[in-house]
Amino acid sequence: MANPKPLPLFPTFDELKDMQLGEYPELQSFLAEGSRMRDWQWGQEFLHYIGRNKSEHTYIRFRNEVERFLLWSFLVYEKPFDEYRKADILEYADFCWQPPQSWISFHNADRFICHGGAYHMNKEWFPFRLKVPKNQSNANTDKSEPNKKKYRPSQQTLKAIFTALNAFYRHLMNSELCQSNPVMLAKNDCRHFLADAQVKEVRRLTEEQWQYVLGVAQTMADEDHSFERSLFVVASLKVLFLRISELSERKDWAPEMSHFWQDEDNNWWLKIFGKGRKLRDVTVPPPYIAYLKRYRKFRGQSGLPYVGDNSPLVEKLRGQGGMTARHLSRLVQQIFDAAHEKMALERGEDHARKLQQASTHWLRHTGASMEIERGRALKDLSEDLGHASMATTDTIYVQSENRRRAASGKGRKV
């Protein structure tokens, strides 16, 4: 039997807040069948709660999972999810492990397209996405698409599925809409979870790769001053352990130069609005100050920030205000690409390969890992990273231990 075609259920949070189903004719028609409307409204209420009380990033993550779950309930399982037991959730986990190929795409797409005063489903959108490796997507020689049959969710993705659905059921129980939460019982028996005692892939740059990135960024800035901004962003992400979102302008937070501040002992700090809507102060080491001064000089500002300096932390070259995370990511990717090209030419592709795979978040991991190797106290690093638990920071320490373990293992002989 052919798998029914899925359609998007929830728009962006801004659109969800004032959503009128009459403006979504295809969705309204789809929900008119059976108990779909009731279940969709429960999902809408939960996501509205998440979007109002959590970050936009959390809303997007939970929307993806609740949407897929409801589509499976509506189109595949055809059973109201408030009647589910552990076995039903395990059935859903099996579905996510190997979804129909007709539900998988290779790229992100908007869910709805506004046309003629109404929001219509985007035919390019699908619930699951098979990520194409960056080095493969950039390759000019091989234009063949990856095989959808090879789609498998990672352990991290499986964990995200259960985390979102657990929160969904708990919300329904707190609202007295559902009598039980079968998700956590199912997680313990999910056959797709692995007891993982393996060495994790380290998503960080080596010291040599980082020096190429920094050197290329400095050279580009020396030759073309418009790249001063890129140099500042790259240095900030690595040295201050920042997420790309923490440098970007958001609806509820605009990073400003005045967020750099100096205490009574002349130590510099940067105030960050981070994950979980939490403020933290990150230590700013003296060597970084030179990059801050250089960027401010390019912008025609005084050497160091001052109280009340409400200029954007990272400024648009055209227009006013700060920059989005997507735009900042493009700046960093441009530096990665140039560093990869230079390192591959000078040191060979084997040394440069990871620069093709790197993302902005690798700079945060690179800086933190190097601090662990320098001998910095785990508690202090955890505070700078904004981790809720030192156990999270400890994974970085484990990565550093694995590097030493690997080095010691190289002495073996055949």
Q: Percentage of the chain surpassing pLDDT 90?
A: 66
Mean pLDDT over residues 213-239, rounded?
96
Average pLDDT of the chain is 89
- The pLDDT value given to residue 169: 96
Note the pLDDT tens digit of each residue in 320-333.
888 999 899 999 99
Pairing outcome for strands 128-129 and 104-105: parallel
Fold of 207-408: hpI Integrase; Chain A (1.10.443)
User: Which letter, b or e, does each residue of 13-22 get, where b requires 16 or more Cβ atoms within 10 Å of its Cβ?
Assistant: bebeeebebe
Give 406's pLDDT tier (boundaries 50, 70, 90): low
Give 1's pLDDT tier (boundaries 50, 70, 90): very low
Query: What is the DSSP code (8-state) at residue 389?
Result: S
**Domain range annotation of the chain:** 13-132+152-189, 207-408
Give 23's pLDDT tier (boundaries 50, 70, 90): very high
Q: What is the CB neighbour count within 10 angstroms for residue 270?
A: 22
- The pLDDT value given to residue 135: 58
pTM above 0.85, yes or no: no
Question: What is the residue-wise DSSP string for 11-33?
Answer: --HHHHHT--GGG-HHHHHHHTS
Tokens representing residue 112 in the block: 């709805």
- The pLDDT value given to residue 198: 53
149 versus 404: the higher-pLDDT residue is 149
Q: 395's torsion region: left (phi>0), alpha (psi -120 to 50) or beta?
A: alpha
Give 399's pLDDT tier (boundaries 50, 70, 90): low
φ, ψ at 219 (rounded to 5°): -65, -45
Mean pLDDT over residues 137-143, rounded?
50
Q: Percentage of the chain surpassing pLDDT 70?
A: 89
Most trustworthy range by pLDDT among 102-116, 231-245, 360-374: 231-245
Q: Is the pLDDT of residue 143 over 50?
A: yes
Note the pLDDT tens digit of each residue in 160-174.
999 999 999 999 999
- The pLDDT value given to residue 397: 59
Mean pLDDT over residues 370-397, rounded?
82
Q: Please tell me the distance from the alpha carbon of residue 32 to that of residue 26, in angstroms, as a whole number.
A: 10
Angle at 124 (CA atoms; ends 118, 126), nearest 5 degrees:
105
- Hey, which residues does 16 pair with through a beta bridge? none
Angle at 361 (CA atoms; ends 359, 363), nearest 5 degrees:
90
Pairing outcome for strands 268-274 and 112-115: unpaired
Q: Please tell me the distance from the alpha carbon of residue 161 to that of residue 139, in angstroms, as a whole number.
A: 32
SS3 (DSSP) at 9: coil
- The pLDDT value given to residue 390: 76
φ, ψ at 408 (rounded to 5°): -70, -30
Mean pLDDT over residues 148-170, rounded?
92
Q: Please tell me the distance from the alpha carbon of residue 85 to that of residue 185, in angstroms, as a whole number.
A: 9
Q: Is the pLDDT of residue 401 over 80?
A: no
φ, ψ at 193 (rounded to 5°): -80, 140
**Residue given tokens 């395990």 in the structure block:** 90
Q: Is the pLDDT of residue 141 over 60?
A: no
Dihedral of the CA atoms 316, 320, 324, 330 (nearest 10)?
A: -20
- The pLDDT value given to residue 16: 92
Q: Please tell me the distance from the alpha carbon of residue 122 to that of residue 113, in angstroms, as a whole number.
A: 6
Q: Is the pLDDT of residue 341 over 50?
A: yes
- Hey, which residues does 119 pair with through a beta bridge? 114
